[in-house]
Structure 1
């Protein structure tokens, strides 16, 4: 077993196994699979069990101890054994096991390629747990140990979640086929309550579910009566699903319900009068928008049918001649418009070019000047979805980057114009700086300040260039400030919609500018909480909540920026192909949970970074990349926190090898150990 550790999928229970060196011992191993013919109840990974430790001197015992640091702590211990050597007839392995000087197990005889387990029936205590494995008088071979598990007993003063609520939420998950990582107790421990749930915690009483958010969860069918079992529910959000049928009256009987969101479903029929009454007297906030077949007041369907009959019968005779006249007018109109439509389009294009869609106070270049400054587009330095970028020089020798609209990219013309117009109205040192433009004879181009080191994506992937930790943080601060200006410094605010390392440019001093505004969108009013927008972005950086709901907010940019910061920390791309195309957040999360950031930080930094600064940066990145947009920080907050990170990195007194600041974990090299806290059982 290597030093990386083993967990799911090799371990069906997702235990975390790590190597551990026992003093005065040597390792043995087997290439064969352990328990291949038997399904052991402990489901021990074969990779773990095919290695073991034995004493260096075959006549010695196998001795080791573990420091607990607290005599009041209680532990349960499991040891696992499997014979890895095919023994001869005259060979026999048998041994006893002592724990803290007392016999724990006698006459252990491991079976060939089949695991055997011993465990403590009662919890054990002590500042140290001392183990000794020694051969019996009948044994010709020394003792071995393949793997070991230690469980810490945690006392929960709080009662488990109310059983009726537990049953109800499990039934709802099953009936709707909800895909969420819901395991264990829904409310306990408080830090690890189920995603989408909030609970009440009242002394030693059982927690109750008070808030249930199943928005954008792919729910179909009718609103289930199971929701009526949550008698303490105060908030219920079922929005952005595909629920059908009528709004049930039992929802009005949830006496504690204060907010009910059923918007953007496919509900129909008459809303119960009892719910409408609660809404009118302000005791319930009711959201129903986006359900086109819902009626708020009676009569509903009957009234519509009656109106249709009243209109159709008496007006048939009047409508027939009217329709004939209308049809004739439509034919005449279409003939005329067909003839003029191409003229109109040509007129509009010419008018736009004549008036200048790119008209501004920036310098205007002729197409011949663009050709001259790029030496007939000799040096291609980049390409995008709607144009190529070329290196060039102005007459005074200033280096520039010239982005030209591709003649083959008709659809992207509007995006190109959108970027040009936006850059002409926003100015910030951390946003791409426009020098001028060209709009002549169908040739559109934007002239930018030249960024000597290209984009961040290419720089990070070039292993011959290594950014220091301080440089990475400065780049993060620069990009964050540019994004902060778009969100909070522009009126109306601007959402970039494609924040990624490829759109962060670096100048000769490695200062960063945010670029490529072709997909950017303006909020029309400050009072608008979100925009309904077609999903646009790059795989790996795309906010999953925006992808599901198509509700765009500035927090979608915040998510993308969190991915950028993770890339700066790890050196990995957003989607890590070398790890089975795993997303960078999912790659970081389990390692971060273990507390060992050595495996997260870019190895090219060689550990010479400020550990506190790294932890802070990771906290910022993971907060930005949170699954719920409402819980993500604003870019104002991100800028403040990143500047604190940079200050920490500049504090030479606390810059050290990162390994010295990692959490200590038990580490086996031959025998394997997992150390877990015992939590509430799965329900």
Structure 2
């Protein structure tokens, strides 16, 4: 299995984690985050390792390697945003020089975000810079700028999706200056304790004392919109009167201050904690704390001060001194430089990808037009605020293949020179529709066919200067048919077509016979049918995705885009990334399987594109996303217990069909919550068949293969032996069923270790208390008998020995009975047996992932 697919399948939605210079993707078990190599995010640079004297200095995996950029002035990472523009993101870049290569010279260089300066790197110790940013495009570019003071480098790059209603960013961006938790222990707090992976460092102001709450502190989540971690809120500092923190800034800087308060001590009736908040010695707010309720103070923007201070002071009515749990300080960063219009930017990126243009010192990196000193070579842009591309010269650039459809999207283009290359195929019709095009030079290529009539008309009426010389097989006259073309078509092309069609008919009949012989009725009552999948051209793929505008997902294969067919039907388009080594193999596996396998609980393949260098799969669009999203997010609309059971039944139908309804049987191999998609009615369908395998014959008991899949879902027996069988999918189904029951992920990151879901739920099941097992978000809205039945089914699926597990047909039957229990008397939620006694041997629970000490 391609590791990028493994990583992306487990990556948290809205998170990108890159270990720059690393050789392999990996799971950081401490953070419960998957880190990728930077291979697919940057085109340039070289991997390096810090010196052996420094490799363990920071006790951080990201500080062991780095990526350096010895060539070019501007080198950029491009981070695609699954959730798109208009959202708010925390972006963190980390740097550790580590004296790689024993150079002993710390470089100094600038870092840009998109088209604006972000900060300057000039330190050799390990450090990171954070910015909160709301991009205006569907991707962010972080660029390292060589200022002639050493080779730029970077150690890690992380992007985290934030909630929209926190950290207001009206203009520019916010650069983190300080983030501290008061009274906290010595280690920093970040993910998974912090949902946004902010890093909280400890701070002990002089003249204060720690207080803490050793009991379970339950904070009303509505009072904590910034989602400050519980570990931060459980400790605080009691401040003396008065207490101030002072920090300095340049006189032109602007700042925001965020203060977080929680009363963690149960106050007596005669006690109160009320205090004034000062900023620059002026009272700006009065806070009165209530037990287990959080209060957040956000200052107005502070400007024009060389020394900005904030402090707290008790009011006359207060009997207790002020407390403070944590604070953050952000500098407001102006971003004066606009960006190239997104349509033009996207078009140029697609041109670069289409021709695999070599990156050189004048490489196409970052924004094409801005800043002006870094404009892409061969490119000219308008000088207005829109920054549109008006001319492009790619003459003698070694271009091969067809003329890329992306040129059509450069609607303000006035001059395009593609001469002296090796371009083939016809002259596209779209050139005649480009409204601003005045000069088009296609001379000295290998183009063929007939020049479009509308293009010749523009040349003849003088509105277009058209160069076509040096294309020997190109006819630029309306009299082409009188020069033997019709004879060629009649004498050669027609017989070839007839011959080809006869071969195709024979092959098609053979395929029909094979499918008819092996076909049988599926569980939905439909006969496995002959594929009528549509074949798309790459230009059609560009059209239906609006030039790859909206990214809705990503895996090792590549990105998934939202598309719309001609009649308005929404589709999901999975496009093969050129950097994916495993992608073509998975593309072929998935396409072949879904062309002949159809079921109402398998995602439907509508069509595909398979042109040289451009592969894509077009699926039906599942509007409610994947199951993991609904279980892991605190959504306002929680999926009910009956809906969860129906999702389990749907998924079981899909697996049972693969195992029993197909000849030969098919094993999914990567069954998990992210591969269960939901439509608008929450009907579940299984997706992602890139790892699927079929038995050679109906009598095979297993297929030997290298272990592949996702941690937490892997069959322990398969993980150790490599023997794959249908019971491997059954094990994965059991884990998914436990996720539906508990709301927990397959792998749980706690404060002390990483825990498999079975390690967490098995002791609770032994105690016989179903309430402690069920997802608390259900608020007790379930029939206890059906809940216990679901637990029994899940436990039957997960024995370490495969032969002890039932087949999917049995699991499906049991789930339907479970569904009946829920639906027969839903009003009697508390009826049934509330406690049961279970006896499970601990040794029977064998997992592919062991707990890791914090």
TM-score, normalising length from structure 2? 0.36
TM-score (norm: length of structure 1): 0.44
Q: Normalized per residue, which structure has more helix?
A: 1
Bigger share in strand = 2
- Of structures 1 and 2, the larger Rg is shown by 1
Larger RCO, structure (CA 8 Å, separation 6 or more): 1
